[in-house]
Chain A
């Protein structure tokens, strides 16, 4: 107790409030957009990053004073936000509601890549000269930076309040958030309102980026995703579209993190955020500040994009295709064979995701976690002396069980919340791997994972591992197609179309969701495990959000629920960029554009959905 009391609680509170006000700035934008456009803007973190780099350009490269920097950053952020609405969101007006969410993921990747191209991949310093003030209060201190950030936050909040409550446009924004159809009937132009909130959100997000850069004297081109998640946690705490709630949620999250760090250490920081997120989704999905009669959780089921009849491919063509793919090593190009092996491993992962996202309708943005579980399980078991064959099977089984168990909390979620929930679960898995040092060696990762071999037969030649992975793809593809045409497949689709209706017919939907995640976990686990033996080194970041997004892109390209589509799309998406080296360099740009264009022009995928 003595040591707890002696911690500098005042300082932790101050830093909690300061970081919290930055989260609040992020969250307000997300809440406005969610309210008006019913959309989680996954590009919001990238606007933050863009803001921090524009801030660097103004303050460091051009030497502008701080106030001018803030104004330029806000204006630029506003323009970026408005452009996102105009170019990526507005064209999707008549598509299903999850389509724009996926489009924002694509936009985020593109913005991040642009920052990478212009400024390089390394963090840089953002020194801003502030008066060297420090106020001592009791045992703690407040510095000029703390005050600057807090005051900027308060001014932004005030400006937003004046806009929302004392301007005609602001009133229309609130009206649209409450009832978009009614607002439309009053003659409110929804496009203009959407663009306005995207602009405001962009401005606030960019300012947040600048402030974080000043606070840590460092800006990082890879910060987008994490900060977006923090903003999202804050709006989940505050109640999604509740703007004052978002501010409260941001401050609460900042304080939780700060105190959490005080008690448990900095490496657990993000774990708190995601634990809070999951708890909120499960216990109070309408937010902390919602009244008892608050709005029902979003009635959107997993229904996703226009479904189109799947393209039926005759069996002889499938066999011919498989034979052609099997003949790739005959070309005598080991690099191509390696690339294809990798693509087929993605195909396994995509088959797994297309089952849950397509057939069952639960859009998961945390699928890489299943690969990570499989990879670590097989690596650890075989490093402890088990034969690789056994390691693979056990790892897949472990992933199946963990996959179903870990995603269980997300089963009761619907629509956008599934995406948020699975994302949080995925991040928690990565953080557990990072922090469970005694088992996983933490950030060091695992070295010297035994190479592939089956019952003493080595499979580590390029060709052998290629054929092995191809065999896995074929076996599991046949199995999955068999399942889809069975009673089980029909039940999964029924749950996707209308969970409540399915339950009234006696379908225990959680059981069937568990089965789907179990099967999907097994396949994804195999994919991750084989990858681990291929790479011989893995760490907590080997299977990250980009992996998840890539798998999701593959699944959409292939057509949701379509097994052969997933395989073909995996070869296109994971294979092509590696074959053309220039594409590999701009990989994120490629994925982002692919995702964006797909959703815009061929949401049903290449091969149609099932």
Chain B
């Protein structure tokens, strides 16, 4: 792995009641990199997202952003520190306009001039949204909604965007578009942590990958190596990696 570490999860153990979800989970997202966290159902992916955003406090272990401990901090503070999110299934504010959705992405910021700057920058990146600013987000197509979700995340002027299954529920055609969008976002200098079930696709654009299985990192490595690894397939058929 190259680059300075931006986000570090250090030996996280988390529980829901008596059930342990994470077992010494450690991972690193370097600056300007795309990292994907692969895992099937109930592997602990969503809890990982919640832990990073401070929505779930781990029993032990630390979340570090640029070396600063943000474990269990209020979400507003974490967002302000530079982590934005594209939630699972996008979760746009469907009854609100595209413009309002974008502004919600900048909710924690108070620097009006800089927000206006980012607003223009984001619309340059996604010119299609400029024509749709007054449209209700819920009335757009799935691909357009994904665009809004990413634009909204960028409005927080993040150093890292966490994406929860960005390709879920999209047609194969759109999946390619979304991967392109992720690459576009990444080129602006933002790191991406992508949680995905769709391993082969995620690894195509990622720099580095982790495979999460029953709350443990079962496998990790440069995306290229993982893509070639036959064990990736077995992992997704639910078999245990030897």
A187 cross-chain contacts in B, Cβ below 8 A: 75-80, 107-108, 156
Q: Nearest chain-B residue to A171 (Cβ)?
A: B100
Complex-state Cα separation, A269 to B87, whole angstroms: 48
Interface residues of B in 165-210 (CB under 8 A from A): none
Interface residues of A in 137-172 (CB under 8 A from B): 168, 171-172
- 4 closest residue pairs by CB, A with B: A187-B79, A182-B91, A187-B108, A187-B76
Q: Which of B53, B78, B96 has the most CB of A within 10 A?
A: B96
B74 cross-chain contacts in A, Cβ below 8 A: 189
> With an 8 A cutoff between CB atoms, is B124 at the interface?
no
B108 cross-chain contacts in A, Cβ below 8 A: 186-187
What are the interface flags for B68-102 relative to A under an 8 Å C-beta threshold, 1 for contact and 0 otherwise? 00000011111110000101000111111000100
Pick the contact of A188: B80, B107, B152 (CB < 8 A).
Answer: B107
> With an 8 A cutoff between CB atoms, is B151 at the interface?
no
A178 cross-chain contacts in B, Cβ below 8 A: 93-96
Q: Contacts A178-B95, A178-B96, A184-B55 given: A172-B107 contact, CB under 8 Å?
A: yes
> With an 8 A cutoff between CB atoms, is B29 at the interface?
no
Q: Nearest chain-B residue to A293 (Cβ)?
A: B138
Chain A: minimal CB distance from B64 (Å):
19
Chain B: minimal CB distance from A100 (Å):
20
| Dominant secondary structure of chain A at its interface with chain B | helix
B76 cross-chain contacts in A, Cβ below 8 A: 187-189
> With an 8 A cutoff between CB atoms, is A472 at the interface?
no
What are the interface flags for B102-134 relative to A under an 8 Å C-beta threshold, 1 for contact and 0 otherwise? 011101100000000000000000000000000
Q: Nearest chain-B residue to A179 (Cβ)?
A: B91
| Number of A residues, CB within 8 Å of B | 16
Complex-state Cα separation, A181 to B76, whole angstroms: 13
B75 near A168: Cβ-Cβ < 8 Å: no
B77 cross-chain contacts in A, Cβ below 8 A: 187
A175 near B104: Cβ-Cβ < 8 Å: yes
Q: Which of A171, A182, A183, A189 has the most CB of B within 10 A?
A: A182
A168 cross-chain contacts in B, Cβ below 8 A: 103, 107
> With an 8 A cutoff between CB atoms, is A582 at the interface?
no
B87 near A182: Cβ-Cβ < 8 Å: yes
Beyond A178-B96, A185-B53: 19 further Cβ-contacts under 8 Å? A172-B107, A174-B93, A174-B95, A174-B100, A178-B94, A178-B95, A179-B92, A179-B93, A181-B87, A182-B93, A183-B104, A184-B75, A185-B87, A186-B156, A187-B75, A187-B80, A187-B107, A188-B104, A189-B74
Q: Which of B77, B104, B105 has the most CB of A within 10 A?
A: B104
Pick the contact of A171: B78, B91, B103, B152 (CB < 8 A).
Answer: B103
List 25 A-B residue pairs with CB atoms under 8 Å apart, sorted by A's residue number: A168-B103, A168-B107, A171-B96, A171-B100, A171-B103, A172-B104, A172-B107, A174-B95, A174-B100, A175-B93, A175-B100, A178-B96, A179-B92, A179-B93, A181-B87, A181-B91, A182-B92, A182-B93, A184-B55, A185-B75, A185-B87, A186-B105, A186-B108, A186-B156, A187-B108
B95 cross-chain contacts in A, Cβ below 8 A: 174, 178
